[in-house]
Amino acid sequence: MSIFTGPEYDPKNMIFRRLGDSGLRVPIFSIGAWLTIGQTVQGDVVKDILTTAFNAGINLIDTAEGYAQGQAEVEIGRVIKEVGWRRSDLIITTKIFFGVGRKGANDVGLSRKHIIEGLNESLERLQLDYVDIVFAHRPDSSVPMHEVVRAFNFLINQGKAFYWATSEWSARQIEEAFHVADQYNLIPPIADQCNYSALNRARFEVEYAPLYKKYNYGTTVFSALAGGVLSGKYNDGIPTGSRFDLHKDEFKDTVEKLGGPEGIANIEKVKKLTKIAEELGCKVGHLALAWAVSNPNTSTVILGASKPEHVTDNLKALEVLPKLTPEIHDRIKAILDNEPASEKLWFGDR
């Protein structure tokens, strides 16, 4: 194609999974803009990060209208244009809910007005005709579910998104979205962008369990390192320039907990996991990423990065994945000692 000028995509040794019950294949590691792109990171560094990711087989770029109040999308759109990647080589996801900091009552949330106007503005910032997936960045219980589902279907039928998804919705809310989709013959969401790590398991492993079984619901996982705790970074307190230091407000609760009994116990677990990581020839962060990906209900784990080297380093988790034998899993399980209780089966497994 004469119009195609950028570098050709080569997935290398990246692994792909179907995202939920869709036909879309996503790399098991993605690159996300949250807290970095457009905020602590701008300009050429963004290009370096995204190029490093793309060259390593990561072709899913995750952003949101609310990341850096729109600047994340602006940066990503600029880089895509500068590098000249072919559109079909990329999976671009954005999220609507938080707006970009304007003050109007309709500038946030999941009204039909904001969903449609929000994505239109996102596409302008991204300089794209469509995203692959548009997420509802949070549930909005103030809007009837049929309005929400219909608005996302409107965007899909306009060709402005191929799929829609949820983020941090409860299982009940997702069930309601499927209910409404069936009732009005609409397309249901395909995945939830959710918090999941070895230190944060209940919603992902238990609350969502019926959704995996009934709807083959997908997940795009963030905070797989628990904000860095699982990288060992906070083993001796909060270093200057670290995520918890830079985003004190965002992580207020987490940081407070870090000094409490649960936080101290978690640090102990990280230290024990570090020994297993050493046996496997990797860092504890790689082990934690591989552990999150090894759950078959994880579709992709989103990596954050403020330098290209972060991407390269995190991807070492790909090499750890085949080393997670049942025996290693058992040892990790014993160290974590935090398996959430499953939904009660009143008669067991008759």
Query: Of 146-165, which residues contact a second copy (CB under 8 A)?
Result: 147-148, 150, 154, 156-159, 162-163
Q: Which region among 16-24, 34-42, 218-226, 292-300 touches a second copy (by CB under 8 A)?
A: 16-24
Q: How far apart are CA 306 and CA 161, in angstroms?
A: 28
Rg, Å, the chain Cα set:
20
Give the pairing type, strands 16-18 and 25-27: antiparallel
Residue 320 structure tokens: 């750890």
Which residue's CB is nearer to a second copy, number 126 or number 284? 126
Using CB under 8 A as the binding rule, whether residue 249 contacts a second copy is answered as no
Using CB under 8 A as the binding rule, whether residue 21 contacts a second copy is answered as yes
Which residue's CB is nearer to a second copy, number 1 or number 334? 1
Which residue's CB is nearer to a second copy, number 78 or number 179? 179
- Phi, psi for 138 (deg, rounded to 5): -155, 165
Q: How far apart are CA 184 and CA 285, in angstroms?
A: 45
Q: What angle do CA 103, 144, 214 make, to 5 degrees?
A: 120
Q: Give CB contacts under 8 A, 24+ apart, made by 83-88.
A: 83/6, 83/7, 83/47, 83/50, 83/51, 83/54, 84/4, 84/5, 84/6, 84/7, 85/6, 85/7, 85/9, 85/54, 86/1, 86/4, 86/6, 86/8, 86/9, 87/128, 87/129
Residue 14 structure tokens: 């990246």
The distance of closest approach from Cβ of residue 244 to a second copy in the complex, given in angstroms and rounded to an integer, is 22
The distance of closest approach from Cβ of residue 273 to a second copy in the complex, given in angstroms and rounded to an integer, is 30
Q: Using CB under 8 A, which of 6, 71, 78, 117 touches a second copy?
A: 117
For residue 307, count CB atoms less than 10 angstroms from its CB and return exposed for 0-12, middle for 13-18, buried for 19 or more: middle
Residue among 67, 163, 208, 234 flagged as catalytic: 67
User: What is 152-177 written as a DSSP string?
Assistant: HHHHHHTTSEEEEEEES--HHHHHHH
Q: Which region among 139-147, 193-201, 232-240, 329-337 touches a second copy (by CB under 8 A)?
A: 139-147
The distance of closest approach from Cβ of residue 230 to a second copy in the complex, given in angstroms and rounded to an integer, is 25
The three-class DSSP label of residue 343 is coil
- Going by the DSSP 8-state scheme, the letter that residue 41 receives in this structure is B
Q: Which region among 19-27, 76-84, 303-311, 315-323 touches a second copy (by CB under 8 A)?
A: 19-27
**First-residue to last-residue Cα distance in the chain:** 59
What x/- string results for residues 191 through 220 when contact with a second copy is judged by CB under 8 A? Answer: ----------------x--x----------
Q: Which region among 2-10, 233-241, 303-311, 321-329 touches a second copy (by CB under 8 A)?
A: 2-10
Q: Which region among 75-83, 118-126, 196-204, 242-250 touches a second copy (by CB under 8 A)?
A: 118-126
The distance of closest approach from Cβ of residue 275 to a second copy in the complex, given in angstroms and rounded to an integer, is 31
Quick check: is 67 catalytic? yes
- For the packed helices 112-126 and 145-157, what is the interaxial angle rounded to 10 degrees? 30
Residues 42-101 that bind a second copy (CB under 8 A): 59, 87-89, 91, 97-98
The residue count for binding a second copy (CB under 8 A) is: 76
Q: Using CB under 8 A, which of 13, 241, 326, 346 touches a second copy?
A: 346
Q: Using CB under 8 A, which of 6, 69, 83, 171 touches a second copy?
A: 171
> Would you please indicate which residues are annotated as catalytic (active-site) residues?
67
